Amino acid sequence: MSAMLLNKEKWPEFVKKLTGKNLWAPKLDGEAMRFAPVAEGEEVSLDYGNTRVPPKGATFPQTETMYRFLVGNMEIEEPKMDEELVLLGVRPCDARAMKIIEKLFRWDYDDPYYLKRRELVTLVGLACTEPGLNCFCSSVGGAPDSSEGLDLLIYDLGDRFLLEAVTVKGETLIAETKELLTDSDASAVKAKDKLMADAGAKIRRTVDHDGIPEGLPGLWEDPLWKSVSASCIGCGTCTYLCPTCHCFDIQDEVEGFEGRRCRMWDSCMFEEYTLHTSGHNTRPTRRERTRNRINHKYNYFVDKFDVIACVGCGRCINLCPVNIDIVEILRRVKEAL
Amino acid sequence: MTADNPYIPYFATIEDNWYETGGDRCIKTFKVVFDDPAVRDSWSHKPGQCAMIGVLGEGESMISISCSPTEGKFLRFSVMKMGKVTQALHKLETGDKITVRGPYGNSFPVDDWQGKKILTIGGGIGQAPLRPIVEYVKANREKYAGLTMIYGARSSGDLCFKGEFDEMSKCDDLSCHLTIDIEEEDWSHNVGFVPQMLLDLNPAPENTVAVTCGPPIMIRFVLENLKKLGFSDEQIYTTLENRMKCGIGKCGRCNAGGMYVCKDGPVFSYAVLKDIPEAFA
Ligand SMILES: Cc1cc2nc3c(=O)[nH]c(=O)nc-3n(C[C@H](O)[C@H](O)[C@H](O)COP(=O)(O)OP(=O)(O)OC[C@H]3O[C@@H](n4cnc5c(N)ncnc54)[C@H](O)[C@@H]3O)c2cc1C
Ligand code: SF4
Ligand code: SF4
Ligand code: FES
C-alpha cells in the first residue's frame, strides 16, 4: 500500500477534489461536532478532538427506512442505496468500532443495510496526536494510529500530511489525488513514528480488562452494580453516542396511505427496551440495565465475536450528565473479581 | 425474507381463523397460506420455531408457529390480543393478508428424542409452542415411546385447542390431562394448578423428556417439581420469551445473558438455561 505526502498548502485543493464525491467531515452543529456534508469550496479543518456524535450513522443511520409500502397494498419497495460517501477525519477508534459491529451485522444473517452502506463508504482517518481526557483506546486493542476499519489514514506532521493507504479504496483515493501528492520519505516516517509514540504516551486513562470477560458472570449479584448505577437517570446518552452500540427498534410510520417501516437507534438503558406488554420487565431497574451494558461490551460480545465491543473513545464518560464512568466501573469490576 | 434481505416479509393469506378463548386478552388462531407458491414449497420449519408476523403500517410480532410441519403446507399462529400489533392482527378475517418472515430460532430437538416418552406441560398460551410437538409425535407415533400432555389454564374458557384433545384419549400411547384453576360446573377434568397436577400424575423420569411452556410463575414451580420427580437438567426443556424486534440477532434486545433468544433460543434445555443469568428475570 502506498504512502504519500500532502503539503498543507494543497489541503484546500485536496478537500475540493473529494467534495466531488459526497464528502462528509466534522462540522460544528450548534455546540456539537458531528459529521455533515461538505459543500464545494467549503473549508474543512481537522483541528478538533473527536466529534461528539460518532460517525456510526454513515453505516447505521439514526433512522433508516427499511422499506416503503402503501397501506392496504401488498407491495414492498426497498430503498435504493447506491450513493457513495467519503468520510474525512474519522478517528481510529470510531473506524475500529465500525469494523467491530460489522461482525454482528454479518452474524449468520447478513444485514443488507449495514453491509451495503459499509461497502459504499470510504473512511479517511485522522491519527490522533492529542488524545482526549477520557480516551483509553490503547487499553482495548486500539491505538491513536490504528488503521483497523479505515481505508486511508492521515497523519498531521505539522507542515504536511502523511497519507497511508490501508485498502484498495484508500489506494484509489490516492490515485485520484496524485497530482497533489509527493512520495513519502524517511524523514516523514521518522516524524510520524515520533508523533505517534508521543500521542500514545499522552493517553492517561487505562483499563486492565484481563480476567474481566470470564469474571463478569461471577459478579452477577455483586453489590457493585447497584452502587455504580445509583445516579443514572436513564437518559441513554452513553449508548446513543457510543460508536459500538448497535441496538435498534423497528417502527412503522404512516402518513395518509404512504407507509414505511424503519429502524432507529435504541438504547438498553431505556426502561421500555425490555418491557413486555404484560407489564413484565426482564430488566426492571437501572442496576440490571447498567449491568447489561457492561456485560454486553465486555463479556457477551467477547464470547461471540472474540473482541471487546468498546473502543475506548471516552464519549460515554465525557457526556454522561451524572458522570458515570466506564473506566471506573471496570476498575470496580476488576477489584471485585 | 428475500434471498438478500432477511427483513423483507412474505405475504400470506388467512385461510381460516377462529377464537380459542374470550375476554380482553382473547386468543385467535390464524391458519395462513403463503401467496407465493415457491415460498409455500420451500418453507420448512421445526416444532418450537417462531415467525415474525405482522400488518404493514402496524408492525410485527414474534409468534410461535403453532402447527407441526407434518400437518400440511400451511402455518398456524395463535395470537393473544395484547398491544398494537396483536390488536391489528385480531381485526383480520379469512381472506385478509398478513406478513410473515422466518422461521426463526432453534427448535425442540424432536429427532434426538426418538424412542423416548414425551411429557409436555403447558399453561395458557404456552400450549402454542407445545402443540407442534404434540402433533409431530402424533404423526410419528412409531418413533416415540408415548406422549403425555398436561395442560392447564385459569378456566375452561382459557384453554386453547380444546376440540383437539378428545381423540388423544382414545389411544393407549397418548394421554391428555387437563386442569383448570377454579372449580366449574360441567367440568369433568382436574381442578388445580399445573405444577401440582404434575406431582399427582407422578411420571417416571426414565427415558422421558419433559417440555414446559407457560407463564413464568408456572414454569418456576414445574421445574421445581420435575426435579422432585427425579428428572435431570438435561431431560427438561423450556422456551424463553423476550421482547424482540428483528428476530435475527441484530437489534440486540432479546438477550438473556449472552444468549440472543431469537437465534440461540427460544428453546433451551434446563441444563443450559440454569447457567444463563437473567433467564428467569
Ligand atoms: C419467542 C416468542 C414466541 C412468542 N409466541 C407467542 C405466541 O405464540 N402467541 C402470542 O400471542 N404471543 C407470543 N409471543 C408474545 C408476542 O410476541 C407479544 O405479545 C407481542 O409482540 C406483543 O406485541 P403488541 O404489538 O401487540 O404489543 P405492544 O405492547 O404494542 O408491543 C410493543 C413491543 O413490545 C414487544 N413485546 C411486548 N410484549 C412482549 C412479549 N410478551 N414477548 C415478546 N415481545 C413483547 C414487542 O417487541 C412489540 O413490538 C411470543 C414472544 C416471543 C419472544
Ligand atoms: S463504551 Fe464508552 S468508551 Fe467504550 S466505545 Fe462506547 S462510548 Fe466509547
Ligand atoms: S449517560 Fe449516564 S445517566 Fe445517561 S443512561 Fe448512560 S449512565 Fe445513565
Ligand atoms: S430480536 Fe433482535 S436480536 Fe433478537
Please judge whether B249 and A107 are an interchain contact, meaning their C-beta atoms are less than 8 angstroms apart. yes
Other CB atoms within 10 Å distance of the CB of residue A242: 23
| Pairs of CB atoms within 8 A across A/B | 108
Instruction: Note the pLDDT of residue B4.
Output: 85
CA pair distance A19, A86, nearest whole angstrom: 9
Left, alpha or beta for A145 (phi > 0: left; psi -120 to 50: alpha)? alpha
B5, B242, B263 member nearest A282 (Cβ): B242
Residues of B in contact with A107 (CB under 8 A): 249-250
Asked if residue B259 has its Cβ within 6 Å of ligand 4, the reply is no
B9, B245, B258 member nearest A299 (Cβ): B258
Residues of A in contact with B90 (CB under 8 A): none
Residue nearest to atom 4 of ligand 1 (CA): B63
Residue of A nearest to B275 (CA): A217
Interchain contact A276–B (C-beta under 8 A): yes
List chain B residues with pLDDT less than 50. Answer: none
> What percent of chain A stands above pLDDT 70?
100
Residue nearest to atom 2 of ligand 3 (CA): A320
Please judge whether B281 and A78 are an interchain contact, meaning their C-beta atoms are less than 8 angstroms apart. no
B8, B257, B278 member nearest A78 (Cβ): B8
Residues of B in contact with A105 (CB under 8 A): 250
Please judge whether B253 and A247 are an interchain contact, meaning their C-beta atoms are less than 8 angstroms apart. yes
| The model's pTM | 0.93
Asked if residue A232 has its Cβ within 6 Å of ligand 3, the reply is yes
Instruction: Note the pLDDT of residue A84.
Output: 93
Contact A72, A108 (CB under 8 A): no
Contact A83, A22 (CB under 8 A): yes
Strand (E) positions, A42-199? 63-70, 85-90, 121-126, 152-156, 160-165, 181-183
B135 CB-contact burial (10 Å; exposed 0-12 / middle 13-18 / buried 19+): buried
Which of A232, A240, A245, when mutated, tests ligand 3's pocket best, judged by the most ligand atoms within 8 Å of its CB? Answer: A232
List, run by run, the mean pLDDT of 10-residue segments along chain A (337 residues): 93 90 90 90 83 95 96 90 94 97 96 96 96 96 96 95 97 95 94 95 95 95 95 95 97 94 96 89 93 96 97 96 96 95
| Domains of chain B with CATH codes | 10-104 (2.40.30.10), 117-239 (3.40.50.80)
Instruction: Note the pLDDT of residue B43.
Output: 95
Contact A267, A240 (CB under 8 A): yes
Interchain contact A299–B (C-beta under 8 A): yes
> Which of B91, B243, B248, B262 has the most A C-beta neighbours within 10 Å, making it the best mutation to test the interface with A?
B243
Please judge whether A108 and B281 are an interchain contact, meaning their C-beta atoms are less than 8 angstroms apart. no
Q: How far is the CA of B242 from the centre of ligand 1 (A)?
A: 8
Residue of B nearest to A269 (CA): B253
CA pair distance A198, A110, nearest whole angstrom: 40
Rounded alpha-carbon distances, angstroms, from residue A162 to A45, A88, A91, A146, A156: 16, 14, 15, 15, 7
Instruction: Note the pLDDT of residue B3.
Output: 64
